[in-house]
Structures are given as C-alpha cells and as structure tokens.
Structure 1
C-alpha cells in the first residue's frame, strides 16, 4: 500500500539532508547571537535568510550581490557576517559597532546598506526588539535628514523600495535562487503601494510627538505622564538651531542660546515629572541637526533620557559613537 507521500510523488528527504538543514539552522542561530552581542541590539532571523540569498547570488562577494541596483553594498551587520563567511583576519580588530555608523545615525538606527545617493537603516524603538522597520536616508541632507519608511524588517523590502525609486528592474537576479518562488511572492507584496501606506499608518498609531526626522517617538504613556511637546512650532525650532549654528551675529546667537537653554531647562523639569518623551524628542532633534556645536548638549540630553526610559544600551551606543569620533568615517562611507 502506497503512502500519501508516494501517491503525491513527493521526494523523500534523506536523514543526511535533514541533518544538514538542522546544522545550518543552528549555525544561523549562533550567528544571530553573535550579532546581538557585537551590536548590543536584537537581530531577526530574517537577516540570515537574506544573507543566505546573497551568498547564493554571489558566493565570492555576497555584500555586493545587489551591486547592479544603484551600486548597493551591504554593510553593518552584513560586514560582520561577510568577515565570518570569508574567514577574514584583516578586519578582526574592526569596531563593528561604529565602523558603519553615519553622523546622523541615532542609536535607534543601524545602517545595513549604502548605495549611490543614500543608505538603508534598521530602526528599533527599543534595543531588545527585533527591527520591524527600515528607513531610507538620502545623502543630500547632512543636516536634518528626513527618515523615509522604506520597508519592514526584511532587507528585501528595502531593495524593492530602491528598485521602485530608481525605476530599475532586476528581479531576474533571483533566478539563481533555490526558493525563487517564495522570494518573488514577498517581492510582489513589497511592491504594492498599500504595503508602505500600512507601515506609515501603523507607525503613526504607535508614536507621539513631531521630531524633525518625521518618524515620531515611541514612549509609554500612563495617564498624563510620558510625553509633553518640545515646542508648538517645530519649524521655528529647526530654524533656530540652523541660525545658532551658522550665524555670525553674536548678539543674535546669544539670544538663541538663551532660548535653547530654556528648552533644556524644560526638559529637566519634564524628566522630574516623568515626561521622558520630551527629552527624547529634543535629543533626536539636536542629534539630526548634525551641527558640532550641539554635540555636548545632544549627548547630555540623550544619555539621561535613555537611562530614564531604561534604554541603557542606546546610551552605551551613543557613548561609543562619541568616543570613536562621531564624524570620523563620514567621507569614506558616502558612495
């Protein structure tokens, strides 16, 4: 009597094949743990799925598997995976935590791909959560860049975003992949307009505030505690920060300094009253202004805020970034 498997003509998987798959899965889990330890934040198994696709496409240079798409190159966690994969000894002393960080990469961000004109970052509101959002940042704005939602936590969604942005088709590259049908199913979903619309809608629903990067902030609101606005006029705050950093009029600069110090005082009061979101929003604004004159205040505001929000890992990443030199690698990373 034939079994159901035999009737449907489903090939039997050998015990050796099963063992190989189990071993590969365990290796991937171990690598995810290594990434968590090196970058101090939680990583998703989707990263390994994507990395295995890259290896299938270009075994010699997996970080450049999608180079035909606007010169895209994988960095960040994929730098470590590539060094591990190639058994590279050259980069064993790499400060992986900071080597691919841009000056406007908040601790919530992790750049994982760069391309001609911009980059993609994983976004985490909490260090112990897997990234469920990918943002795109253009290189055109060194000060106050806008963070555009480009996908969920799957790097494949970022590729879809870039292909659409650059009006470039390159799906044929997946023909070499064993699970091509599964990849193309995802690709079709990510291509749909409603995919990004839904991500933006969900983001708006779970965040508060109007930080100048456009993503909102995520803080716990209990009753009336958790958040209060930095200002009623975000456009004016942005202009004030630019004016302070660029003006040569010392009288005007002194006036602006008093206004900014007043906000700093308000943040301190808000912290005492458990409205920690105000400090997070103000700190984000100072950070992405990317003016060196605000570095000391930025570090002061965000270090305190991250600790109050129990996001100490972000405070540690911030400290590492400052000690390593916030802008030390900027020129060599821009394609």
Structure 2
C-alpha cells in the first residue's frame, strides 16, 4: 500500500467530496457556444432506407441493443439542440467528448468530439469494465454496427438465430468494405493523436510555431489504473492514502500545465472521470475543467458539470 503523502498544493482543498447540498445547475440557463450538436452521420443513417431493417435485425442479435441519444431525438421528431440534445440519454460515464447513440449487452457506441466544434466526430466503443476502455471503431454509424456484430460474435456464445442475424447484418453492410473503412479511420486517428491510457487517443496540439507536442512523455509509470482499482476495493481507512497518491499525480499535472504541457492533465482527467469514484469527484472537476479551459474547449466544462450531477453516489 502507499506509504507516503504528497506535498500539499492549492488543489488540496478539493480532497473532500462535492457536497450533496450543492445547488444543481438549471439546464435552461446553461448556454453553449456551439449550437449544433446533432451529428451529421446520425441524420444520414436515420434517413437511410436501411435504418429500420438493420435495427430490427440487430434486436434479434442482441435484445438489449437500442439506438438512443440523437436517434431518440430524430425518432421523436422534436427540435432540440444545445444542452437538451447533448444531455439526452447521457449517463454518468459519458465524458464531455462523448455523445452515446447505441447501447448493447457489451457496452456502448458514442460519437467522440475532440473539440466542441468538431463536425466529423469519430465513433468509439466503451466496454463495461469497472474502468471502461474507450477505443475508436470508425466514423460512421455503419462502422459502429460492424463493431457491434464483432462484439456479439467474439464475446458470447450464440444461438443459430443470433449467428444468422449477424450474418444478415454483415451482408447488408458489406463486411469487407466496413473492415477496410474502419481500419483506415483507426490508422489515421493513430497518426493524429497521442495514445492515452484508456481513451481513443488525445488531440493535444503543439506549442506555437513548433512541432513539439503539448503532451509530456513521462518515463515513470504512474500506475493510475491500479491506484483507481485500489481506491474502489480498499476500505475507508486506506482510501486517504490512495487519494494522496492521486493528488501527487495532480501536483505533477499542475506543474506540466505551467510549462504548457496541457495534454497530461487531459489524460489524467479522462481516467479519473471514467473510474466513476465518488471520493475523487472534486479532483475530476478540477483537473478536467483546467484542461478544457487551457485548450479553449469551454463547452466541455458545462457538459462536465452537468454530467457529474448525474452521479448519485
């Protein structure tokens, strides 16, 4: 177990949980800079002739699958956008970058915007582990459905009916075409981003007039995943020691921010958020709010605060 405590810094005041008495945000008063949060890929697929037939077959393959979020809005024919749209069907493990549109027995598929203004988001899959792993699967809804079929095929024993449904879906999509397209998206993504601990790559940018990344490669492994699992599994008497180690990582991030390496804070914030631990709620808010503000992604700050309110610990 952890033996040493970190030096106290300004963020030490965030060590206690967010007070349950904190006033909830009024969504009607929250205004986002970006106005259009309806993904073009969702609209295109919803209007296509294959939407209803594919949805029907997908339910045969997995009775727990459902199109949600932007598809719920499109299906209901209501005109909503901004906060109301981005918060539709949002759950407590949806990062501000995420807009989930498909849930199934093995996880969820979401549009992923690196910035609030992103008009062609990639699509990611999040598994259902204690700390979800988020991976890129493509950039169209069809790529997500192809990924859905792969998950059903690999992660469970299937009846003849399910196997037949999967084969029919892949036939309609064109399996080889989907695989080629999805691989191209993933390859391009890998070139453009820094590989994060759990996420689909980080768009961290470079220092002005240089090719130097705003992400500092740290030689010492932080073992943040192990710390978070330890936080989840230890008794109350040991949690302070683990939180102390997490606070030390935050101290490092604050120093990196001072030097212009904003990407490390973004990475740490993502992992802390995905762990969904009530004991570090304030740490999550501090590190991610700082990262988003440094990158000028202010809409994500509002979405983060609204998302944290979904957590009923």
Query: Hey, what does 1:112 align to over in structure 2?
Result: 101
User: Quick check: 1:276–1:309 contact (8 Å CA) kept in 2?
Assistant: yes
Q: d(CA) in 1 for partners of 2:49 and 2:57?
A: 5
Query: Hey, what does 1:146 align to over in structure 2?
Result: 133
Q: d(CA) in 2 for partners of 1:144 and 1:231?
A: 23
1:232 and 2:220 correspond: yes
Q: d(CA) in 1 for partners of 2:245 and 2:119?
A: 38
- Is the partner of 1:136 in helix, strand or coil? strand
TM superposition shift of 1:188 = 4.1
Query: Hey, what does 1:259 align to over in structure 2?
Result: 245
Q: d(CA) in 2 for partners of 1:48 and 1:305?
A: 31
Query: Hey, what does 1:103 align to over in structure 2?
Result: 92
Residue 68 of structure 1, aligned match among 60, 75, 78: 60
- Is the partner of 1:106 in helix, strand or coil? coil
- Is the partner of 2:60 in helix, strand or coil? coil
Residue 73 of structure 2, aligned match among 55, 75, 80: 80
- Is the partner of 2:182 in helix, strand or coil? helix
TM superposition shift of 1:114 = 1.2
1:199 and 2:185 correspond: yes
Matched ranges for 1:22-37 at <5 A? none
- Give the paired residue count: 266
TM superposition shift of 1:276 = 0.8
User: Quick check: 1:40–1:127 contact (8 Å CA) kept in 2?
Assistant: no
Query: Hey, what does 1:295 align to over in structure 2?
Result: 281
Residue 230 of structure 2, aligned match among 243, 249, 264: 243
- Is the partner of 2:131 in helix, strand or coil? coil
Per-residue CA deviation, residues 191-222 of structure 1 (Å, 9 max, x unaligned), is: 43x44333332222111143233x22111112
Per-residue CA deviation, residues 207-239 of structure 1 (Å, 9 max, x unaligned), is: 1143233x22111112446112467315x2211
TM superposition shift of 1:44 = 4.0
TM superposition shift of 1:63 = 7.2
Aligned pair in 2 of structure 1 residues 295, 138: CA closer, same or farther (>3 Å)?
same
Q: d(CA) in 1 for partners of 2:149 and 2:74?
A: 24
Q: d(CA) in 2 for partners of 1:77 and 1:39?
A: 16
TM superposition shift of 1:169 = 4.6
Q: Which blocks of at least 5 consecutive residues in structure 2 are unaligned?
A: 1-31, 154-162
TM value normalised by structure 1: 0.68
1:304 and 2:290 correspond: yes
Per-residue CA deviation, residues 10-64 of structure 1 (Å, 9 max, x unaligned), is: xxxxxxxxxxxxxxxxxxxxxxxxxxx8995654433222111368737xxx976
Q: d(CA) in 2 for partners of 1:157 and 1:310?
A: 30
- Looking at CA atoms only, which structure, 1 or 2, has the larger radius of gyration? 1
- Give the structure, 1 or 2, with the largest relative contact order (CA under 8 Å, sep 6 or more): 2
The alignment yields a C-alpha RMSD, in angstroms, of 3.3
Aligned pair in 2 of structure 1 residues 102, 271: CA closer, same or farther (>3 Å)?
same
Q: d(CA) in 2 for partners of 1:282 and 1:231?
A: 15
Matched ranges for 1:119-138 at <5 A? 119-138=108-127
